[in-house]
Amino acid sequence: MTDIVSFGNRSPADRKRLDQFVAFHWTHYRDEPRYVPLLDYEYLGSRLLGITGFFEPRNLFFTHGQIRFFLAQQDGQVVGRCNAFVNDRHNAHTGDRTGFFGNFECIDDVVVAQALLSEAEGWLQACGMDRIRGPQNFPVNEATPGFMVDGFDSRPVVYYHFNKPCYASLAHACGYAPVMQYLSWECSVQHSLEPRFIASCQQIVERYGVTVEQWDGRSFQTRRAEMFELYNEAWHDNFGFVPFTQDEFFKIVDDMRLVMDTQLFLFLYVKGELAAFFGGVPNLFELLATGGAPRGVELWRAARLLLKKSRIRGFRLGYLGVRPRFRRLGLDAVALLRQKEVARARGYEYCDLGWVLETNQPVIRMSARFGAVASKRYTLFEKSLASS
């Protein structure tokens, strides 16, 4: 028999349950070398280290969202987990009543999966939602949506989650249908580009008066404000995007400052006006891999991350945006070429490009120009709550 424990994130008892919630993925993936857990502090927080956890009430998400957590147990042992949440900013932006489930983990058992998701569905329905979508893990807008369905043998990359291959089948069995695909590619920094392509990029620079600056070309405060303004504008109409508040976005950039390589951030101006930015983040998973170690090595992992980040050989191109009125000028080609040149000079060996919506044909076509090879694919699922 499967029992479901439901809890929040505010009381001391909730805190103990949340620790169980986080602990489950350590045992669930114990024998899976390609699973790289985020630091426990990122979920639960650490006042000593000045880290606000994704699930803590003081997380800025909870100024406009609410959440519920669920643990599935059999004979007193945890066999599955998920959360359900309402994001008021999402629904205000889209004009609908969509709730989400996330951080789903489960043994390969339809009965357990159904029990978990039924609880999530019921809670969201009580909150007035008419559909459920997921998985959407925390942090929203940064973690890749969906279940991994291709790329189980690909390289682990930061903020791409690894999940059991059975999860998509479990979702289908529980009445969920695919609603969107998310794609990623890996390309070698050393891959040579066609001379015609390079010449074409130079023509774009000359024709439109394009200048390219790195992060350190202006103050930290200026760069942070530029990214916030452009990101929300560039992503405004993308499926599933939720506009950031300034506090949320600034917090992300402030946290990223500890591990970022500023030379991987490029800002493009057309005749002096900010038109686009492309930012790469070192692949922290190279250092966060546990090597099969059990839970309890978090201080060691955090220290290793800070002390050895210069040894990271790959990066993820995950922060990018082009203002709508500057699209179709070829700025993406110019930015990717310049970033490739910078990455090569800094000794990087590979770049992950993603995640990209399956509907974004310009970026999909551009990836081929850079010799990129498909590496991961995720499927986002949805279900109506009208008859749940």
> CA dihedral in degrees (235, 129, 73, 11; nearest 10)?
80
Q: Where are the domains of the chain?
A: 3-180, 187-380
Quote the CA–CA distance of 136 and 84 in Å, as a whole number.
9
Nearest alpha carbon to residue 215 among 259, 268, 258: 268
Quote the CA–CA distance of 288 and 375 in Å, as a whole number.
20
Contacts of 282 (CB under 8 A, 6+ apart): 259, 260, 261, 264, 309, 312, 314, 315
Same fold? 3-180, 187-380 = yes
Instruction: Assign residue 326 a region (left: φ > 0; alpha: ψ between -120 and 50; beta: otherwise).
Output: alpha
CATH superfamily of 187-380: Gcn5-related N-acetyltransferase (GNAT) (3.40.630.30)
Quote the CA–CA distance of 7 and 15 in Å, as a whole number.
9
pTM over 0.85: yes
Instruction: Assign residue 285 a region (left: φ > 0; alpha: ψ between -120 and 50; beta: otherwise).
Output: alpha
Tallying the residues shown for the chain, one arrives at 388
The tens-digit pLDDT sequence of the chain (388 residues) is 899 999 999 999 999 999 999 999 999 999 898 999 999 999 999 988 788 999 999 999 999 999 999 999 999 999 999 999 999 999 999 999 999 999 999 999 999 999 999 999 999 999 999 999 999 999 888 899 999 999 999 999 998 999 999 999 999 999 999 999 999 999 999 888 889 999 999 999 999 999 999 999 999 999 999 999 999 999 888 898 888 999 999 999 998 888 889 999 999 999 999 999 999 999 999 999 987 778 888 888 888 888 999 999 999 998 888 999 999 999 999 999 999 999 999 999 999 998 899 998 888 888 887 889 999 999 999 999 985 4
Quote the CA–CA distance of 296 and 269 in Å, as a whole number.
47
Return the amino acid letter for 36.
Answer: V
Tokens of 371: 């010799």
Quote the CA–CA distance of 304 and 82 in Å, as a whole number.
30
Q: Please state which of the four CATH numbers 3.30.200.20, 3.40.630.30, 3.40.1050.10, 2.30.40.10 is assigned to the domain occupying 3-180.
A: 3.40.630.30
Return the amino acid letter for 142.
Answer: E
